[in-house]
Amino acid sequence: MSINDYVRWFSDIRVGDVALVGGKNASLGELYSTLSKQGVRVPNGFALTADAYWDALTAAKAWERLHALLDDLDKRQVDILAQRAAEAREIVYQATATGPLREQVDAAYRQLEAEYGANLAVAVRSSATAEDLPSASFAGQHESFLNISGADDLFETCRRCFASIFTDRAISYRVDKGFDHFKVALSVGVMKMVRSDRAASGVTFTLDTESGFRDVVFITGVYGLGENIVQGTVDPDEFYVHKPTFRAGHRTVLSRSLGRKQMRMVYAERGDGTKNVPVSDAERGRFCITDAEVLKLAGDAITIEDHYSKGAGHPMPMDIEWAKDGADGQLYIIQARPETVISQRAPTGFETYALGASGTVLATGRAVGEKIAAGPVRVIADASQLKEFKRGEVLVAESTTPDWEPVMKISAGIVTERGGRTCHAAIIARELGIPAVVGAAGARDALKTGAMVTISCAEGEVGRVYEGALPIKATHVDLSEVKRPRTEIMLNLGNPELAFRTAMLPNDGVGLARMEFIISEHIKVHPMALVSPEKVDSAQARQEILELVRNYPRPADYFIEKLSEGVGMIGAAFYPKPVIVRLSDFKTNEYARLLGGEGFEPKEENPMLGFRGAARYAHPAYAAGFALECAALRRVREDMGLTNVRIMVPFCRRVEEAQRVLDAMAGHGLKRGENGLEIYVMCEIPNNVILIDAFAKLFDGFSIGSNDLTQLTLGVDRDSEIVAFDFDERDPGMLEMFRLAIVGAKRHGRHVGICGEAPANYPEIARYLAQLGIDSISVNPSSILRTMQVVSEEERSATAANGAPPKAAE
């Protein structure tokens, strides 16, 4: 080969050139040469081909020496591994010091200077010829170098990059993955540095990294250079964008989470390289990029995924690095590769995990993976302590690096004080299939070496470390064994953090999405305290509210955004299946416990029968708060485009009350029938059943709330120990209530379902409802498979006996 062939410019590289320039460079070339015209910005650069590596080592007669070092190497002997790896790197470093290679690097660098300016700073990145294959990520195995200026420094850095093919961790990784050391080569990528040290950078995935849910783009970002995200030294901002509605033209961020962003990686003042500097409190308190920039990144990610999917013949989720240039303000894509862990999960079944008991929480952070594990703690302060680590221990550290991977592979779980869900610890934990809690501030103090703990990532976005070894329930479900009945089996859901994972269960949508969890856990403030903060009596509460709303034009905007994001996450997870969202149904004592709420709520002897549900919405004491609920739902349906969201009115006592609520909703832009809006009502008061014909004229559907309907029909408080034994949905009177509700709704062609746990707790009730021809049964996620089985069996029995599916009794 001619020596002039060692340099290939991005414009001449395509995705099929992996054997020549490695996966990373092949992907950069594909992006630069084919997607730039679609608005995806990629900095220009060039690759030193794998032939440069092969030829240099052959000319230096290096192969025999390398075989002598590596052929009989036992990677478990860590000291010998380190010694031989260092010798191998020196061999490659010396071999690549050739005059022809230097000349080509100098010439290519001068060409980049002509395009971007003298003494241009570049990034130098490794690109293995076996890199980014579906079976292996090679993430962090080889070296990358940032802020390299000048032809001499560039050439020396390229040699160091070539030599990094024999880092300790790369050797160990290849052994684990079954790659032959001598069939993998390294190409070196040289690309204009994006001045993200003056702005921000991050990582984008075209799927949710925890559940594998495919319909979202997940974006993380920090201030400065992006190495801090990968290394897990900072906690990034996080954003979700919903792909289907984005494609339909809606441009709204689905949800956002503010990270701590403790440090910013910038260029060193003297010479090449980088350093970390603290981030001010003011900057940490706001997002590192705007919503418009989040949406631009999402659009780029969807374009990239679509482009790669064409060649694959199926959707190909992508792992993308981005950087914002502080000089020109533009966003650039600096790497894209197929996602290699979550997307490879077999779709034939899934496992669910749950704790069998409660316990004391010692530390919390971001949950990675959806598993639970227990083991003794091992706190690692620095790499010198890794040799003390034992199989099955829980690794606790400030952060992790690729050099720690041999220890991570034998750990039961990982806890880090820093990092987000795209940091090194998170990536490796997913690949290993173990739970990790990242960004758990104070974990090294709270968790003591030797103490037994349980690490749980199966409770939503928040990962928890519990004291002691708690019982763990693991359930494997084979999808081929799930029989889907004709009756719709839907889900009850309140926690948006569980939405993506739950949506992957067999289901027909959400029959009950509760607002209360979102308000109490994510918003935390009484709606009226945001409408009229000056009326909050407590100085401490006023200060806490002020802190929560500091980044919003109005306090009320905080409520609207947070509630719409929570509802939107559930709506997006199940889109386009129906998601029935129940308006807030706190009782007065529950509302009073919200921040600033005590002064806005009356004290009632019996809150269950008091100022709750529909009674509040048009009442002067809460009408302004209800307007915020409506504004949030309108944002979900109109701005987010989630028109699969239906609205349900709870605890509606009288027909006149129903009309007042519908009028109020219409006044807030939620008019029944407009933009396909369907409005349901809870059927949970005997009067709803008695007057079902009148209620049917006002609403599109009914959801039987078996808990309250049973209490009010039987006159039993199920929370009273002395009479709770009489609370029984199987009572003949209750069965008749169910029958009347279903028959009445069917008489008017209205949808009728049930959202209580009675069908899950008592299979005979599920069978009875199926016999009546109920349209849907909505249960908690843990009960859905059992309920499907019971209803399927009943339908088959009815068909066998009558030759037709069950119908509503007359």
Catalytically active residues, by annotation: 424, 755
Q: Which amino acid is at 618?
A: A
**CA-closest candidate to residue 706, choices 676, 732, 738, 677:** 738
Contact in structure between 13 and 26 (CB atoms under 8 Å): yes
Written in H, E and C, the secondary structure of 215-251 is: CEEEEEEEEECCHHHHHCCCCCEEEEEEHHHHHCCCC
Distance from C-alpha of 543 to C-alpha of 217, rounded to nearest angstrom: 35
β-strands 394-397, 331-338: how paired?
unpaired
Element (H, E) at 472: strand 472-478
Contact in structure between 535 and 509 (CB atoms under 8 Å): no
- Report, in angstroms and rounded to the nearest whole number, the Rg of the chain calculated over CA atoms: 30
Cα 23 to Cα 15, 34, 133, 338, 536, distances in angstroms: 8, 16, 8, 10, 59
Contact in structure between 266 and 225 (CB atoms under 8 Å): yes
Reduced to 3 states, what is the DSSP secondary structure of residue 493?
Answer: strand
Residues 6+ apart with CB under 8 A from 156: none
Q: What is the DSSP string of 641-690?
A: --TTEEEEE-S---HHHHHHHHHHHHHTT--TTGGG--EEEEE-SHHHHH
Specify the length of the chain in residues.
810
Beta-bridged to residue 264, according to DSSP, are 277
Q: Which amino acid is at 370?
A: E
Q: Which amino acid is at 679?
A: I
Element (H, E) at 93: helix 78-95
**CA-closest candidate to residue 383, choices 393, 371, 370, 397:** 397
Distance from C-alpha of 89 to C-alpha of 167, rounded to nearest angstrom: 7
